[in-house]
Chain A
Amino acid sequence: DVVLTQTPPTLLATIGQSVSISCRSSQSLLHSNGNTYLNWLLQRTGQSPQPLIYLVSKLESGVPNRFSGSGSGTDFTLKISGVEAEDLGVYYCMQFTHYPTWTFGGGTKLELK
Chain B
Amino acid sequence: DTEVTQTPKHLVMGMTNKKSLKCEQHMGHRAMYWYKQKAKKPPELMFVYSYEKLSINESVPSRFSPECPNSSLLNLHLHALQPEDSALYLCASSQGLATSGQGEAFFGQGTRLTVV
Q: Is B one of A's binding partners?
A: no
